[in-house]
Chains A and B, each alone.
Chain A
């Protein structure tokens, strides 16, 4: 009984901020209208965020599915070295290579570009994604693929027509992690984007608090918080099972 009371009290503490934020933003629905008009318009920032997340998810899925297949099924020179180099991304603190990435994207003509930002996100997702995909491909019985090869498929046809379907759960997990990471990240877009019209939601909404004149409109701010948080909350609740399973497979990044 005490246990039930403790749990309920804790649940109230954990859920209260979310409920309050939703309530504070809706108390005066014009908060949303005002937020929609902030800066370049919330539509621009939301579109940027959606585009970056889409490119990140697509890029991560394509690169890690191809790579995972290569690591699970082929032997090629430098295989172990490349795998170790990918896992080393986990060892190197995120924040310490953003400054050279900023310079490097400049050389590549990708500074202040949503595509450049997405590539950086794909890179940070790669250790986890590649690890997941390699394990998923390894778990498929070889016979499935060999039967297709004998029937005259090339490896790419076997890969795209048969194997990709078999690893769908891993694809969902990798995609979900890539979405949450790219949608929510603040530091990378803060550094890599410097033109207001290319801001993603986190950077744009934070800039609401740092206006030099006028009082901060807290109701509007909470409307911004909701616009950022609600898609993640819905997605998490719908795909909770995948998230937890992906999580338990070991590779994670704090």
Chain B
């Protein structure tokens, strides 16, 4: 492992960058701010959208960090290794069984399904030989694909295929005051992750070491799982499935700053928030005044970043 880089300076830089991005985000949009309704537009539309992107980005990056800790592999992303797809399946089931259900109930169903789906992934991934680290992401993609295919099959039968695309393609176009507030749950979950950060660091050392150090391994694992599942459920139900953030941001941050969860957690949260917000700004500008789903932008950016992560690895291994 490389020597961890001092983090404080970078954290300040990240905070400044986030403020700048947030300002840009408030200024970018179809409506004109100069008019009499400018202030209302900012309050009703721009600030909620900015907050939604920041919260989702931070949440997904933290979920990725915890997921990577649980799977003991830096190449998994909850959104493309089963959690996101399971959340989608939960919402789909809710749509079929109780179409009139509130968004809170749908979120609950999404989180529950994500919990089960993620737990199953971890159980199966543990059977893979630990000597083959690349097998885990490969299996993750296959697993995510299988859950996704199952969801598609159910949607096909229920004639909800295109409706499903609302959840499988994340975007912030519908975000405004009164339509995104559930995302604030993520800030609480990030706080919880901060609170248990040291225990997550120990968890990453593996069962034997962790138990030897006095950690209640099972409880801690389930707590991590619950955080990942809830973030997946809330974000998928509110803005849809946004890929790669949970993979790229923690993988790069941990390589740069080391494995201490408490130390890297703020920079990972800031990195995820900044990545999603900047991609959403691009998504708003690419075909102005129309919208491109932020999930599509991240698909392009994220694929490039994923390859970078893969190629960069041997140098530090």
Real binding pair = no
Chain A residues with CB under 8 Å of chain B are none
Chain B residues with CB under 8 Å of chain A are none
